[in-house]
Structure 1
Amino acid sequence: MAPDTPAAAVPDRATGPALVTFREKIGAYVALTKPRIIELLLITTIPAMFAANREVPSLWLVLATLVGGTLAAGSANALNCVVDADIDAKMRRTRARPLARHVVTPRAALVFGVVLGILAVGFLWATTTWQAAALALTAILFYVFVYSVWLKRRTSQNIVWGGLAGCMPVIIGWSAVTGGLGWEAWVFFGVIFFWTPPHTWALAMRYREDYAAAGVPMLPVVATEHTVIKQIIIYSWAMVACSLLLVPGSSWIYAAAAVPAGLVFLALAHRLHLQVVKDARSDDAPHGTSPLAGQFMSLFHYSNLYLTAVSVAWAVDAAIGLQTVGWPG
């Protein structure tokens, strides 16, 4: 994420866009795509392709799918920036984004996002399968219109259902290889679905003042700390249980990573719950920065590591092959 821009460098709204160099303008357009989020999405795409092929897939197909997926995610993120421009300007965490700083106009960002989306769908259709292209289009439209426009400002469950868009790279990657969908793809889809609320709510606990100021009813804004951590624990258990459904169809390699990674996730969540109860904050009003914000951020950072570890283990397991490794004994 780009560092906050000094107040002196932020133009007044009445004066219009800031004067920037060509290099800064290019950087602003790249920032609209939210590269760090794209990296996390692509981490789940490659393992799905490996698992669908049961070995290392064609490198050209992997590259084509990653390029198309990057364009699709960049499109959705850029269009999200257009919808959330007013919110981003009010939040410390996002006020350095291009639209919030008036480095890029809303019209330009809208055109940029639409063009990226068209390129993504066309490229995936031409280089992979029409199913992958259709799923990418569905993901873009869902993220922009269902999550960004409809859910985000209306319900505390926004990220639960809006997070479905973040699950799409798995089934896009699978369909790019096979033209269809296997049960393993749906299982990992479920892993990401249940992973998204703990991941997002842990971060929101650190920035709930920002969300409150922007009028976004994230769960940590409208619920007590105790309620939030209980919800995190429920989704964490569902996530780990879902991840273990892949064990029967994998070798010991996947299990050796998924089981301990899941146990650590659950341990962190339960430890945080005990801290909330011990500090007797369960009845506090949900306002201000949580005194346990640091611990919530630790869970947030580990959630990234967890998803990466499980995804890589799934890919390695598929690349080596069950016939080669098998279960010990």
Structure 2
Amino acid sequence: MRIREGSLVNDSVDGPIRFRDRVLGYIGLTKPRVIELLLVTTIPAMLLANRGTVDPLLILNTLVGGLLAAAGANTLNCVADADIDKKMKRTERRALARATVPRSHALVFGLALSVASFFWLWWTTNMLSAHLAGATIAFYVLVYTLLLKRRTSQNVVWGGAAGCMPVMIGWSAVTGTIQWPALVMFLIIFFWTPPHTWALAMRYKEDYEAAGVPMLPVVATEERVTKHILVYTWLTVAATLALALTTGWLYASVAILAGTWFLVMAHQLYAGVKRGEAVKPLRLFLQSNNYLAVVFCALAVDSALALPTLLHV
């Protein structure tokens, strides 16, 4: 970075940093695509908590708080990972890797978003939701990013717990408590995260090797990785079916059909590796997003319609 004729110049992008690039850089730090998926799970959790009679303003306020929390956590994650992002082709265009945003500014931005999320949720929902959001940010940044990510191949197994918290925050915003359906939804995302992430890591194995991140595909054979993917996929589907005990027939039907589809994909990946074929793990990664969205959208519709729950049929 240097100054030339009164303008800020970024050597890594061969020219002055435009205002638009700076703004897009800050937006990119928050990882909008990740936030979308997190928010998709929050609304169904809130609707299930009171079977479709949730105040729309409460939903909006919870989403705003969740957005701020996720944006803050993702920004702080980018700050901590700035060095390895420069070494990975998948992440080399991120704002800190290209120096379109100063690292110190990104740190302040991430902390500001995190603090804002806590006070927003405290003000608009309740103290439990605010504390859950704060704990999520701390766990994601301090435990996953700084402690686990670069030290163990089980990083995404335990670190993925942070991605499960939006359902807990949504449930607590409505009820002020944490009850067993919220814990089951937590487990759905907890079990879903490893196969989702490992499939991506299989595709970008060389990236993680170059960055020195011991993702499972880096330290284990493809057969072992796909076997783990298969096990966690089964656990994910089992958790979705357990949730059906407190939902109606619509969610249960979708969970069975979507779960079967997800299992078929995981089995195909494992079988292809065992046969020594060239596989496409990125397909499982992309479709796993669709799977989770379909299941939780079905949960939202089922809850909004307040269909009779299977426990009371």
Normalising by structure 2, we get a TM-score of: 0.94
Alpha-carbon offset, residue 23 of structure 1: 2.1
Residue of 206, 210, 215 corresponding to 2:203: 206
Residue of 215, 218, 228 corresponding to 2:215: 218
AA matched with 2:301: V
Query: Retained in 2: the 8 A contact 1:18–1:103?
Result: no
CA distance in 2, matches of 1:65, 1:49: 9
Alpha-carbon offset, residue 298 of structure 1: 1.1
Residue of 69, 78, 103 corresponding to 1:106: 103
CA RMSD, 1 decimal? 1.8
| Residues 175-324 of structure 1: pairs in structure 2 closer than 5 A | 175-279=172-276, 291-292=278-279, 294=280, 296-323=281-308
CA distance in 1, matches of 2:17, 2:43: 37
| Residues 5-20 of structure 1: pairs in structure 2 closer than 5 A | 11-12=10-11, 19-20=16-17
CA distance in 2, matches of 1:216, 1:100: 17
Query: Retained in 1: the 8 A contact 2:10–2:17?
Result: no
Structure-2 residue corresponding to 1:97:
94
Residue of 104, 125, 128 corresponding to 2:125: 128
Query: Retained in 2: the 8 A contact 1:17–1:103?
Result: no
CA distance in 2, matches of 1:326, 1:117: 39
How much identity, in percent, do the aligned residues show? Answer: 56
Structure-1 residue corresponding to 2:4:
none
AA matched with 1:303: S
Normalising by structure 1, we get a TM-score of: 0.89
Q: Find the residue that maps to 1:134 and give its secondary structure.
A: helix
Deviations 1:48-81 (A, max 9, x none): 0000111141111111011110000000000000
AA matched with 2:260: L
CA distance in 2, matches of 1:198, 1:60: 35
Deviations 1:130-180 (A, max 9, x none): 110000000000000000000000000000000000000000000011110
AA matched with 2:151: R
For this pair of structures, how many residues does the alignment match?
304
Alpha-carbon offset, residue 181 of structure 1: 1.1
Alpha-carbon offset, residue 11 of structure 1: 4.0
Deviations 1:227-264 (A, max 9, x none): 00000011011111111001121111001110010011
Deviations 1:283-307 (A, max 9, x none): xxxxxxxx42x2x111111100110
AA matched with 1:61: L
Q: Find the residue that maps to 2:152 and give its secondary structure.
A: coil
CA distance in 2, matches of 1:116, 1:298: 33
Structure 1 unaligned spans of 5+: 1-9, 281-290
CA distance in 2, matches of 1:321, 1:208: 45
CA distance in 1, matches of 2:223, 2:20: 46
Change in CA separation of 1:18 and 1:187 when aligned onto 2, cut-off 3 Å? farther
CA distance in 2, matches of 1:111, 1:43: 27
